[in-house]
Amino acid sequence: MSRIRKEGKVEYRFEHPDDFRAFVRDRKSRKTSDKTCTASEAVSRFVADGDYIVYDFSSLTRGPQSLIREVIRQGKKDLWIGAEFTLHESALLTGAGCVTRIDVGFLGYGNYIGQAVCDGRVKVYEWTNGGLALRILAGARGVPFLPTRDLLGSDNISVSAAKVIDDPYTGLPVCLVPALNPDVAFIHVHQADIHGDARIFGTNLFALEAAMASRRVIVSAEEIIEPEEFRKDPMRTTIPYFLVDAVVHAPFGAYPGAMPARYEIDLEHVDRLNAIRNDDQMRIYLDENIYSVADHEEFLDKRVGAAKMKELRRRATIIEGYR
């Protein structure tokens, strides 16, 4: 048995690989079916209090913002999120009282979050970008951990639950990160079909890994296309249908973030989010943009508007590479 040279002692979400395999065998279907539904239905059905949620990409680019706003609207509690980048979504989820723990890659836009951490309202565990992505890869790869030589260079390890052992092949110290199998993955994509096949154009954090490693996967899509289109161009399938539990048609679902080749970031709205410093300001934002509207469509209608959407679409001039 390898001696553990050093380990971080924070809590970590972990599921035995055999338990996850049993879930996939018994509770995920390989059959095609129409999985389209509203964000309200998807979140209501697949997100429970206390769940661990991971998402791809970020609040600024191709993020599942409409799904996250729905989580806040439904008042989910005690969530644990895997936030590769903690941006507006982390601030809003914390401000709304939804999230109590955050596994972090990169802690960004810390004004509101920083205060919440200091106040003890949310716990933050630091895995580094590479470390968190590797945990999800381990969850997808069906192993209890994956080794890395990351995390060895600083004391970051003490605010994670990584363990350092002697590698049995070389004797080198090597860092192990435990597998992560989230309860739910939210992934915003360019195109999906009604079965759940999905395409992302551009880069992603860990879209396929997260879809594979998570118990339930909600895909929100800018566009719904025919299933056969995926089979005509298999190189461009990012996620196959049998990993997915719900498909939400959500044009402008990444708003106020950008959706590459579809619409640009709304920097004015993002600046408003960045300006939130305290709970009063948070409350005003949440009321205006989430609680006072029934769903994403009413939000777009009444808080964003057709003129703004047209302008953001117009600004998305870079199309090449995103087809």
Partner 1 sequence: MPRTVEFTDTEFMIAQGARLLEDGKSIFVGWGIPQIVAMLAQKLYVPSVVQLFEFGAVGPRSVLPFVRGTMGGPQNTYRSLQWLNMNWAFSYSASGYMDYGMLGALQVDPYGN
Considering only residues 206, 241, 285, 299, which one is a binding residue for partner 1 as defined by CB under 8 A?
Answer: 206
> Any contact of residue 191 with partner 1 (CB under 8 A)?
no
> Any contact of residue 205 with partner 1 (CB under 8 A)?
yes
Q: Which stretch binds partner 1 (CB under 8 A): 72-80, 96-104, 225-233, 258-266?
A: 258-266
DSSP string, 227-289: HHHHHH-GGG-SB-GGG-SEEEE-TTTTTTSBBTTTB---HHHHHHHHT--SHHHHHHHHIII
Considering only residues 24, 225, 261, 309, which one is a binding residue for partner 1 as defined by CB under 8 A?
Answer: 261
Q: Rounded to an integer, what distance in angstroms lies between the CA atom of residue 174 and that of residue 51?
A: 30
Place of tokens 């409409």: 66
Q: Which is nearer to partner 1, 130 or 227 (CB)?
A: 130
Q: Which stretch binds partner 1 (CB under 8 A): 32-40, 160-168, 198-206, 277-285?
A: 198-206
Query: Residue count at the site for partner 1 (CB under 8 A)?
Result: 35
Q: Which is nearer to partner 1, 47 or 124 (CB)?
A: 124
Q: Rounded to an integer, what distance in angstroms lies between the CA atom of residue 21 and that of residue 16?
A: 9
Q: Rounded to an integer, what distance in angstroms lies between the CA atom of residue 101 and that of residue 94?
A: 9
Find the binding residues for partner 1 in span 51-70 (CB under 8 A). Answer: 57-58, 60-62
The angle at the Cα of 303, spanning 300 to 308, to the nearest 5 degrees, equals 70
Q: Which is nearer to partner 1, 52 or 57 (CB)?
A: 57
Find the binding residues for partner 1 in span 101-140 (CB under 8 A). Answer: 106, 108, 129-130, 133-134, 137
Give me 2's structure tokens.
């390898």
CB of 86 to partner 1, least distance (A): 12
Residues 77-106 as x/- pattern, contact with partner 1 by CB under 8 A: -------x---------------------x
Q: Which amino acid is at 11?
A: E
Residues in the chain: 323
Burial class (CB in 10 A: 0-12, 13-18, 19+), 82: buried
- β-pairing, 173-178 with 184-192? unpaired
Q: Which is nearer to partner 1, 153 or 168 (CB)?
A: 153
Taking each helix axis from N to C end, the angle separating 39-46 and 65-73, rounded to the nearest 10 degrees, works out to 60
> Any contact of residue 29 with partner 1 (CB under 8 A)?
no
- Do residues 17 and 212 lie in contact, with contact meaning Cβ atoms separated by under 8 Å? no
CB of 249 to partner 1, least distance (A): 23
Find the binding residues for partner 1 in span 139-158 (CB under 8 A). Answer: 148-150
CB of 85 to partner 1, least distance (A): 8
Give me 198's structure tokens.
């999905």
> Any contact of residue 260 with partner 1 (CB under 8 A)?
yes
Please choose, from the candidates 113, 127, 247, the residue with its C-alpha nearest in 3D space to the C-alpha of residue 187.
Answer: 247
> Any contact of residue 71 with partner 1 (CB under 8 A)?
no
Residues that bind partner 1 (CB under 8 A): 57-58, 60-62, 84, 106, 108, 129-130, 133-134, 137, 148-150, 202-209, 258, 260-261, 265, 267, 270, 316, 318, 320-322
